[in-house]
Amino acid sequence: MISINNIQPLSPESLFNILKTEFPAYVNEQFGSNLSVEFAHVSNIINISFPEVIDGNAYTIRVADNSLELTDHTTEGTYNSELLEQHLLSFLTLKAG
Stated pTM of the model: 0.90
Count the neighbouring beta carbons within 10 Å of the beta carbon of residue 56. Answer: 11
Alpha helix (H) ranges present in the chain? Answer: 12-31, 81-96
* Extents of the domains making up the chain: 2-96
pLDDT tens readout for residues 6-63: 888 899 999 999 999 999 999 999 988 899 999 999 999 999 998 988 888 899 999 9
Count of all residues that appear for the chain in the document: 97
